[in-house]
Structure 1
Amino acid sequence: MEGGGGGTLSEIYQSAKKLLMRAQDGIERLERLEHSTSSGGLDSPELSFVVKKDISQVLSLCADMDRLWRSVQAKPQRDLWRRKVELVAEEAGSLKESLDRYFARNQRRMKEAQERAELLGRANGDSAHVLRIFDEEAQAMQSVHNSKRMLADSISTGAAILSKYSEQRERLKRAQRKALDVLNTVGLSNAVLRLIERRNRFDRWIKYFGMLITLVILYFLIRSSG
């Protein structure tokens, strides 16, 4: 029986069966790729497109066959063709469901891979942030260490200056005592002695003023390093 330019019912049926076999083989290949360790579960867009196209063509042929078997005159043959067309349609529907599940699993894998990539990107960003914090902390600790070293050097310098002042003071005292002894020996007047005493007090004030200036300098150095 002719099928409106598309071949007889038997020819359309044979074409549909061939397409079903090819679609079934394609789905099995997709599933093997999905579970293959070497491929890492990669998708084959070309193969999945062909399988989807074959299934759509089978469903289209089922619509043609459904129209043709109804025109069969003999009831036994009509019932037989009806059952054949129904089986082809059921098998095509089953393959379509398998392909849809494959697409759903593949989409879920792609989404999970994208989420992992985003998490890895954020993790790398956090690691860089942590390293930057550690670097800043190290720089701050180095700055504190340098400030402490400068402060220690300033204190040492101040102590050395004060020690020098103390030594000079002792030398002045000894010189003054010797001078007084000499003056007493030669019988100098009391006026000369008072002049010496005033000069001694003036020297002490110079010494105290120098010590005060040193302490002020040390204070500002300690404050600036803190």
Structure 2
Amino acid sequence: MTDEPQDAALYSEETLESGRVLFARQARFMMGAAKIEQLPPDDLPEVAFAGRSNVGKSSLINALTGHNHLARASNEPGRTREVNFFVLDEKLRLVDLPGYGWARASKTTVKSFQNLGRDYLRGRPRLKRAYLLIDARHGLKEVDNEPMDALDKAAVSYQIVLTKADKIKPHELAAVIEKTQAQIKKRPAAHPVVLATSSEKGFGIPELRAEIMTTCEVLP
């Protein structure tokens, strides 16, 4: 896997460096909300991370912030059943939404924490973007249509972020990116640029930091 992200041309060196500096600042766990009424005040710009339960949301948040244990990764899919809030430099929040596509929980439990995620998405005016994480090895699946439909319906801007991009060959990754861009082309709330990342190798992390920084309109 090459270390040169194919998205690098989208961002200037200055922007990439500003993103690095911002995400090197203090990041802390703020709280987890199990009910909509427990959500914190909507007083900072936020970006949210959504995806299937084993797609690597916690690992990506940790890679972005340079913390190994800020977001708790688990070998047990579906562990995240709250909306978890992390504050970066007291300027913006990273929000970890409950995973979906986990069949081992009861249907009642699954519906409960998935509804919490939907309520969050509908009720946060300062939510700047949702990042929908997709395993680069598999691409978009049928189970991903429901969250994309919900985001389209809520008119929440979202962007596809491919994870585990180091697990496939560069030409395979390029094909997945091209196919994914074609699949989301007609979706009204989808951002057209598909980003590829690897939390393990650091691939694409500087570009995603820059994307979040510019989307939230914050500076280090």
TM-score bracket for this pair, using the shorter chain length: under 0.3
RCO higher in structure (CA 8 A, sep ≥6): 2
Bigger Cα Rg = 1
Q: TM-score, normalised by structure 2?
A: 0.20
Structure having the larger proportion of residues in helix: 1
